[in-house]
Structure 1
Amino acid sequence: MTSLQRSATAVKRAAASQTSSKQADEPIFLDPSDDTTFQSLKKLLSAPSSSTQHLSLLSDSTLYGSITFYLSKLELEHVAEFAGVISSSGCLWTPPPPANRPPSAAKSGTTSEKVTWTSEPGSSSSSSDKSVEVKSSPNLAPSSLSSFLISRSTSVSQAVAAALTKRVDLIVRSKKNSTGWATRSALSHYLNAVIQGIDDTERDSTPESYRAARGLPIPRFAIIGGLLNALYILKDQRKRTRDMSILEEMAALRANPSLGLSVRRPLSTIQDEWIVTLAEILDHLYARTTPSPGSDVADASARDDSDVDEWEVEFRKRTASVAGPASITSLASKRTLRAALSDVRDVPLYMAAQLAPLVPDRKIHALDPVQLTSATSDAILSLFEGPDGSSFLSSLAQDVHTQQCSGQQTKILVNPSGSTATILQSVLDSTLFPLLGPLSKLMSRALAKAVTSLTPEQISSLLLGTADAALETQLGDIEFFPLLIRMSRLSSRLEAAWLASPLAGAKEEEIVESSRQLTKQLWTTFKTVLFSYTMVFDSMMDALVDMCPSPTLTIPPTVGAEAEAQQSRRWPSASTSNLPQPYLLIVQHVLATYSHLYWITSTFGSDGFDVYRKVFYSALDVIGRDGEACIQLLELIAPVRVDPTDPSTILADALESNTAKRSSTTYFLNVAEQLVGVLPDQVVEQLVLPICRPYLENTRFSDTFESAHSVVLALYSNHKRCILNLAPFYVELLIASYPQRLTAMQFEYAMSTVVGAVSDRSDSVAWWVITRLAEEVDRERLSEGGAGEGDRGKSVQAGGFVESSGVTKGELEDALVKSDSTHPSDRAAGSSNQDNDTERSQTGSEVDAYDRLTHLQMCLIGCIPSVNLVLLRSALAKVEAYIMQHKQREASGLGSNAAEVDDADQQTGSSRIALCQKTFDAIQALNAATREEGLRWWLDHRVQFGV
């Protein structure tokens, strides 16, 4: 038996008896000079990497429990030495070779164990043993260097965190449960000793543990991460006690005095150390794997051995041993260096993603934003990119089939052993997949810093590469693409692969039972991609909005530019702005990327989810300030359907029945709705309306119909040139769509918007709309058989100006002063103390209580504020006829026996009050030119209406 084997056996034997053989008079801190167990552990950890198999003789609970115990118990002058041993141990940080696996290794397995230590007598926490959950890594040879280092780093970090928590308890106990200056000073000295011990191992040469980690200071990062985690937990626990009542807080402090210790300053110090270590890692990764934007990376093979340090020579040897028989020259190339470092790249990012939320933005922003963005983006995107650089769905077309099931029904089958299932499982099983949320957030914070610290040209170079990158075909290694180009490429290829498969738009019952679990996993991955993209864009868009010039200046196109546009471009010139062109290109690319992902977004509803809406509308707000940029965006995302029989023919008016394939059209219309105001009329008429029209004429696809309907409403709200010609078609569409596809509120809003817009252009068209609505009212009334021939003649009598029936000028002026008074229906009911807002909310909540006839009449009344003075009396005459019809029906019902008054008669009474309420509101909404005339009419008829 070798000396190292004897050391391992001694450590196991001593660790087994640590908790059972403690003496009551044991000192608080331990002098390891005469501790044979500690000396054996230290000797074992100090062994070179060639002896790593001896470490496998220890179970994970024994190894990490021993580290926790001694790191927390050692006297201060021995802490630095032990921390240095842990950090520099080649034996600890080198994976054991599979051929030399000890027989006992298989016993430990992969289960989670608890590292437990017993509190000394008299400790404030002696009532219970403290434990920390440690995910024990198998002692089997790891599947990759990355997985081994992640497992080892996590376990060491948790052991260090547990040691610090225990050390705080011991320090407080040694100070007689005081948490004052002396205790805080002792904690600072302990932390400084740990950091000093790590620094001492790096002073003379690179530790062997760092060499095992491809030169990255992963051991240092793991230890500092453990300190950071423990300090943050202590801070959070102390913060929670502040939210307790005084008695609860006193009881908590009595049970655990360490809760009263302030760790604000030590936490800030360790955060700084964590940032410095991460910066060193990024320097190492970025310098070797990421070229400067727009520059060529010189081949590393051109460098002489005399120009590299000792570690570089060692690194080349190690990469050569990893990669096999390849020559050193080829291994030193840009691609090979990146491949060698990719084995360990995920390790620091795995730890950084978990601990970055514990570090404030002002410290994260001290990191180089370009380096951090490059490292995190490559880690995120490479998960979803296929082996050929396309996407993980590149083989979907070959793996999806259809098969005949019972009842001659055709269902979709996904090959469970195909390439898609294999790649998907590797994505789900990857170490970074569960951490994509915090990793994307870290990347977003880096992008926010980049936007605020770099010039527009520099940020464009980072994200797009060149000014017109969106229109260029990118060549070369995909990992060196500019960020937004790479994201857009991935999203477009995901979209193309999915929409080309039978799974696109398929319902669950159309998929074979055995393939449903696989498709659910696919959708989990799709949504993860969408969430990651949205989180990345979130902080970036916030920063970009803040960096936009304020106020934004709109520059209208000149006459000369208009003439030039007629000759050299498809569309007329639009307005421009003082927004930097790189910002506009970035926003265009964000929205274009979302276009490729809308088949995923639409599963959350037409507007997606909260954070998506924030990013989406922020981007539209920015780009909507520049008309030229809006035109370019719409051309970029415009859906194009090709005739299957003739690929050269574009089907502009064709309907797409597949929901997933139709999503690009819906997204285009959603964007166009927000940008209509700055688009030239020619763009609206030749680009936007042809895409709207098929889904307005055929309303069976509700999602796209609603988007197209919103676009047309936006045209009327922005008074575009086409609104007069569009009015007959659109009004007929609205009438036909109510109430099947439009609610009463939507219908009224649309009709009043149309009337208001066309009234500025043509009173005759506005009156045609009112007349067409009145015809629909009459048709509905006659279909219900609610009025006789005489009533019908009275309801359609011509308008004209009616002479005032005794209303004096004083009464009119008094009515003008009191025009914001309560509704007359409330006076009739004896409840005149409610304000107008409450009344309107009540009316809105009760709007479904009325029949279609009443809703149509109320819609016509809602259009009254939008007509000009010349049409006001004529429109009000129709309103008068409607109210009187309801009053007459009400009177005929009241004249009968009370027992014979049916529900229809009661509905008539409530409808009359509702119409009067609506009329009163409409008159109050009249403008200065028509309000006096409207009030005069109201005073003339209010008694007649019975209010």
Structure 2
Amino acid sequence: MSDRGYINLIRHLARPISTLSLETLQASISHYLARTPVPLPGTPTPLAAAVLSSPLFQPYKHATLSALALAFRHAVHLHVGVLKEEAERRPAGLLTRGVDVRGKLARWAGEVRAGFTGSEPLVRLACASGFLLGLEDWDTELKIKEKEKRVRAKAEEEVVLALAEVVDEYAREGSGWEKDFKKAVGAQGDEDPLALAILLASHCAQCIAAERLQALQLPTVVDVLMNTIDRSFYSGVFLTEASTSAHMDAQGRIAILSTSPFGQTIRSIATSPYIGAMSALARFMARALRVLVESRRASGWESIDRTLQRLQILTAAVEKDWERRPLAQVTKEDDLSDNATRDVTTTTWSILKTLLFTTLMISQSILSAVVFVPGPNTSQRSSPATSPQAIALNVLHVLSHLSFVMPQFGGVASTSEGGLPELKRAFYMALDVLASSEDAAERFVSELSKREGVIEKGKGVDALPRSLLDARKAFALACVEQLVPILSEETLQTRVYPLCHLRLWDPSHRETYESAHSVMLAIFAAHAQAGATGRTITSRQPSFAEQLVPMYAQCLVENSSEERLSTTQLCMAYAALVRSANAFGDGVGTSDGESVEGDAMAWLCVEVLLSAIRNAQSATSSPAPPSPSSSSISPFPLTQSEHLHRLHLTLIALVPSVSLALIPRLLQEVKTIVLSSPAGDPAGEKREELVQALFKAILQDVGDAEKEYTIGWWLKNREALAGERDSSVRESLEAEGTLVARL
């Protein structure tokens, strides 16, 4: 006789309504698929067929279909457990064969699949996807993919065929699939079957071989995926109701009720199964695009173009709504009135981050295809919009719309461990592709500068949040920095320099401030590199980069206080400026090959720094008298002393950056400064730091051409620099001096 529980399960599956809960049905299906009663039916095929044909799972809903997928996935796990128990009871002996767990699992899998025949494609897709995931779970241990290739292939084919049938039924190519999409929704009155199919398939898409995915109508699948992603984020307009739902309390803080339209919209998005599975949807999208581009190149590039257009519309709508909404004005938690408002705000940011992650995952796949897969042949259907540079430009436009989200991860130029590697990878890869065309790069920088110009001069700009403006500016500067080497002189002067000029003295937004300085240094480095490769402009007039040198040297001095550039940043920036200035020139040199004009430009930078040092020394030696109400020791001399010490370290950092012709003069200035520093008392720690910094610069950073002179100078002046009374400095340099002598 058969098991009574099994018979009851079959009866419930035959009814349109069951008194059993969905969880109970799921557990029962898993149990009896894994432990089929014997002698009848003795095989899981009848139960699998009963499940797939059951009216209980119609109309289609995510909860029921996901329960089916989980039931078949758990059934695989339970059956493997049954086989392992049997193997333990019947171990292999000298004359007896043990239980072949993998072989029996393969036979059982075939019997389960036999019950899939003739069922509805969407239900079959749910069961097949769960079944495939169950096999994937055990692949590491049982090597099913390697040892039972046919079993694994059949499981993958079931998913592909079921998905293909759903796509063919609800999204027919050439008949306006979006119309069919809407008709399907109206016919069912419940959740959309096409979106459900895409959601179910996305969970196991990474387990399916590329050659089997090629059997799908991939252009249509990509369009449906993009439509599902777009609808999951309400086509980017989920922030529209934020203004009407938010109000200010008596303390001027923002308050948003959780029952307000905006609160309900945010909660609806956050609890959607599609948002919960967005990473799987994005991975499926990325995989489908990659397989499509590799197998059908022309169709693939057209799908990429359509996808980026949809992403641009989606992200632009989000940015447009965000810039005028009260949440964009929030800079700290105290700006929110209560816990309900904080919950809504936190959930909103979570949705925005999910959108950024989704965009990055799709963008990385697109850029990888652009970089590694040749574009369509000229004989095939192609357009300028599908060129690699145009695609990279579209990716950058999409990312720019989400630039206000990027500070949550440190921004695109962040070097901290808290940064987002995927963001940097997509950002810099897009810029690399764009930089392969000077014309495309010029157009992009022109667009950026015009956009920033409109923002700064346009009407109502004061109403825009400062954080949003700073994020946009930081993104623009980070883009420009990477493109500087291929930009024309005119673009640098009329577009790039105005973009970063005002930010050079404004450290209120750190990322923008540092990016502006990075752009300036990139301008100098690019000009110096052009001169080194013989690409300088044959003109008697100084280049724009050369004209900027005096201004930027003074700018760095003015940014040398503690609240602005750090000591390390100041040293590196000034050394880079001098190194670039030293490479400038018109080709006129000395008998030793040194550039006279370059030396003059480099020494001008040194003189600017020396002048600042002299002014700081004067301020330190004659501090303002303390007021009667202050303590006996004024804090100002200490601050001025620290500032002077930073300038001294910056001067020492220039030693490896000047030519051999300038090193004697620079080392003499350094020696004078070090000898004027007190030794043998607490203030002597600064002198020791100066000497150690100078020794490191000479030993590790000075070039080969200047090494012989600088080491000789060091050996000659080492004792004087250490100071007669400062034994700690002398001892710390004793062992290092032996190494220098060997050199």
CA distance in structure 1 between the aligned counterparts of 2:406 and 2:349, rounded to whole angstroms: 11
Which structure 1 residue ranges, 5 or more long, are not aligned?
A: 1-30, 96-144, 211-216, 239-260, 301-330, 465-481, 550-578, 788-847, 894-901
Q: Relative to structure 1, is the Cα distance of residues 226 and 919 closer, same or farther in structure 2, using a 3 angstrom cutoff? A: closer
Q: Relative to structure 1, is the Cα distance of residues 57 and 926 closer, same or farther in structure 2, using a 3 angstrom cutoff? A: closer
Q: Partner residue of 2:365?
A: 539
Aligned pair partner of 1:686 in 490, 494, 519: 494
Question: Contact 1:587–1:619 (CA<8 Å) still a contact in 2?
Answer: yes
Which residue identity lines up with residue 781 of structure 1 in the other structure? Q
Q: Partner residue of 1:402?
A: 248
Residue 511 of structure 1 pairs with residue 316 of structure 2: no
Deviation at 1:875, TM superposition (A): 2.3
Question: Contact 1:84–1:197 (CA<8 Å) still a contact in 2?
Answer: yes
Q: Partner residue of 1:279?
A: 160
Question: Contact 2:452–2:499 (CA<8 Å) still a contact in 1?
Answer: no
CA distance in structure 1 between the aligned counterparts of 2:323 and 2:555, rounded to whole angstroms: 31
Deviation at 1:588, TM superposition (A): 1.1
CA distance in structure 1 between the aligned counterparts of 2:644 and 2:176, rounded to whole angstroms: 79
Deviation at 1:441, TM superposition (A): 1.7
Query: 3-state SS of the aligned residue for 2:527?
Result: coil
CA distance in structure 1 between the aligned counterparts of 2:619 and 2:456, rounded to whole angstroms: 48
Deviation at 1:712, TM superposition (A): 0.6
CA distance in structure 2 between the aligned counterparts of 1:280 and 1:425, rounded to whole angstroms: 35
Aligned pair partner of 2:29 in 67, 74, 83: 67
Question: Contact 1:171–1:187 (CA<8 Å) still a contact in 2?
Answer: no
* TM-score using structure 1 length: 0.63
CA distance in structure 1 between the aligned counterparts of 2:457 and 2:385, rounded to whole angstroms: 42
Q: Relative to structure 1, is the Cα distance of residues 291 and 728 closer, same or farther in structure 2, using a 3 angstrom cutoff? A: farther
The 5-angstrom pairing of residues 401-420 of structure 1 reads: 401-403=247-249, 405=250, 409-420=251-262
Question: Contact 1:283–1:371 (CA<8 Å) still a contact in 2?
Answer: no
Deviation at 1:525, TM superposition (A): 0.8
Aligned pair partner of 2:581 in 749, 758, 767: 758
Residue 675 of structure 1 pairs with residue 483 of structure 2: yes
Aligned pair partner of 1:336 in 169, 172, 183: 183
Q: Partner residue of 1:659?
A: 467
Which residue identity lines up with residue 154 of structure 2 in the other structure? E
Q: Partner residue of 1:487?
A: 311
Q: Partner residue of 1:604?
A: 409
Q: Partner residue of 1:583?
A: 388
CA distance in structure 2 between the aligned counterparts of 1:856 and 1:750, rounded to whole angstroms: 12
Q: Partner residue of 1:453?
A: 295
Q: Partner residue of 1:132?
A: none
Q: Partner residue of 2:734?
A: none
Q: Relative to structure 1, is the Cα distance of residues 38 and 751 closer, same or farther in structure 2, using a 3 angstrom cutoff? A: closer
Aligned pair partner of 1:195 in 109, 113, 134: 113
The 5-angstrom pairing of residues 851-870 of structure 1 reads: 851-870=642-661
Deviation at 1:277, TM superposition (A): 3.0
Aligned pair partner of 2:436 in 602, 611, 625: 625
CA distance in structure 1 between the aligned counterparts of 2:712 and 2:9, rounded to whole angstroms: 100
Deviation at 1:486, TM superposition (A): 0.9
CA distance in structure 2 between the aligned counterparts of 1:715 and 1:917, rounded to whole angstroms: 30
Deviation at 1:723, TM superposition (A): 1.9
Aligned pair partner of 1:85 in 49, 55, 64: 49
The 5-angstrom pairing of residues 226-241 of structure 1 reads: 226-236=130-140, 238=141
Question: Contact 1:445–1:540 (CA<8 Å) still a contact in 2?
Answer: no
Question: Contact 1:756–1:867 (CA<8 Å) still a contact in 2?
Answer: yes
Deviation at 1:671, TM superposition (A): 0.7
Residue 884 of structure 1 pairs with residue 675 of structure 2: yes
Q: Partner residue of 1:497?
A: 321
Question: Contact 1:228–1:267 (CA<8 Å) still a contact in 2?
Answer: no
CA distance in structure 2 between the aligned counterparts of 1:659 and 1:595, rounded to whole angstroms: 14
Question: Contact 1:87–1:198 (CA<8 Å) still a contact in 2?
Answer: no
Deviation at 1:733, TM superposition (A): 1.7
Question: Contact 1:279–1:368 (CA<8 Å) still a contact in 2?
Answer: no
Query: 3-state SS of the aligned residue for 2:402?
Result: helix
Which residue identity lines up with residue 695 of structure 2 in the other structure? Q
Question: Contact 2:225–2:281 (CA<8 Å) still a contact in 1?
Answer: yes
Q: Partner residue of 2:232?
A: 383
Aligned pair partner of 2:198 in 333, 338, 349: 349
Deviations 1:776-823 (A, max 9, x none): 222223333399xxxxxxxxxxxxxxxxxxxxxxxxxxxxxxxxxxxx
Aligned pair partner of 2:563 in 729, 736, 740: 740
Question: Contact 1:275–1:364 (CA<8 Å) still a contact in 2?
Answer: no
Deviation at 1:587, TM superposition (A): 1.3
CA RMSD of aligned residues (A): 3.7
Q: Partner residue of 1:57?
A: 19
CA distance in structure 2 between the aligned counterparts of 1:781 and 1:645, rounded to whole angstroms: 40
The 5-angstrom pairing of residues 693-772 of structure 1 reads: 693-719=501-527, 721-738=543-560, 739-759=562-582, 760-761=584-585, 762=597, 763-772=599-608
Q: Partner residue of 1:100?
A: none
CA distance in structure 1 between the aligned counterparts of 2:717 and 2:492, rounded to whole angstroms: 45
Question: Contact 1:160–1:226 (CA<8 Å) still a contact in 2?
Answer: no
Q: Partner residue of 1:116?
A: none
Question: Contact 2:323–2:464 (CA<8 Å) still a contact in 1?
Answer: no
Question: Contact 2:356–2:405 (CA<8 Å) still a contact in 1?
Answer: yes
Residue 186 of structure 1 pairs with residue 11 of structure 2: no
Query: 3-state SS of the aligned residue for 2:254?
Result: strand
Deviation at 1:491, TM superposition (A): 0.7
Q: Partner residue of 2:632?
A: none
Q: Partner residue of 1:442?
A: 284
The 5-angstrom pairing of residues 188-267 of structure 1 reads: 188-199=106-117, 202=118, 207=119, 210=120, 217-236=121-140, 238=141, 263-264=144-145
Which residue identity lines up with residue 284 of structure 2 in the other structure? L
Query: 3-state SS of the aligned residue for 1:52?
Result: coil
Matched residues, percent identical?
22
Residue 926 of structure 1 pairs with residue 731 of structure 2: no
Query: 3-state SS of the aligned residue for 1:718?
Result: helix
Question: Contact 1:218–1:348 (CA<8 Å) still a contact in 2?
Answer: yes
Number of residue pairs aligned between Structure 1 and Structure 2: 656
Aligned pair partner of 1:777 in 613, 625, 631: 613
Q: Relative to structure 1, is the Cα distance of residues 878 and 669 closer, same or farther in structure 2, using a 3 angstrom cutoff? A: same
CA distance in structure 1 between the aligned counterparts of 2:21 and 2:302, rounded to whole angstroms: 51
CA distance in structure 2 between the aligned counterparts of 1:448 and 1:728, rounded to whole angstroms: 50
CA distance in structure 2 between the aligned counterparts of 1:708 and 1:610, rounded to whole angstroms: 22
Residue 529 of structure 1 pairs with residue 355 of structure 2: yes
Q: Relative to structure 1, is the Cα distance of residues 766 and 82 closer, same or farther in structure 2, using a 3 angstrom cutoff? A: same
Question: Contact 1:444–1:540 (CA<8 Å) still a contact in 2?
Answer: yes
CA distance in structure 1 between the aligned counterparts of 2:465 and 2:271, rounded to whole angstroms: 36
Q: Relative to structure 1, is the Cα distance of residues 756 and 299 closer, same or farther in structure 2, using a 3 angstrom cutoff? A: closer
Q: Partner residue of 2:239?
A: 393
Which residue identity lines up with residue 404 of structure 2 in the other structure? W
CA distance in structure 2 between the aligned counterparts of 1:437 and 1:492, rounded to whole angstroms: 21
Q: Relative to structure 1, is the Cα distance of residues 351 and 615 closer, same or farther in structure 2, using a 3 angstrom cutoff? A: same
CA distance in structure 2 between the aligned counterparts of 1:612 and 1:601, rounded to whole angstroms: 8
Query: 3-state SS of the aligned residue for 1:599?
Result: coil
Deviation at 1:299, TM superposition (A): 6.4
Q: Partner residue of 1:168?
A: 83
Q: Partner residue of 1:247?
A: none
CA distance in structure 2 between the aligned counterparts of 1:735 and 1:863, rounded to whole angstroms: 14
Question: Contact 1:222–1:351 (CA<8 Å) still a contact in 2?
Answer: yes
Q: Relative to structure 1, is the Cα distance of residues 583 and 282 closer, same or farther in structure 2, using a 3 angstrom cutoff? A: farther
Deviation at 1:499, TM superposition (A): 0.8
Deviations 1:356-387 (A, max 9, x none): 4555667656655434423332222211025x
Question: Contact 1:673–1:710 (CA<8 Å) still a contact in 2?
Answer: yes
Question: Contact 1:229–1:355 (CA<8 Å) still a contact in 2?
Answer: yes
Q: Relative to structure 1, is the Cα distance of residues 73 and 516 closer, same or farther in structure 2, using a 3 angstrom cutoff? A: same
Deviations 1:39-60 (A, max 9, x none): 5544553x4xxx413xx13455
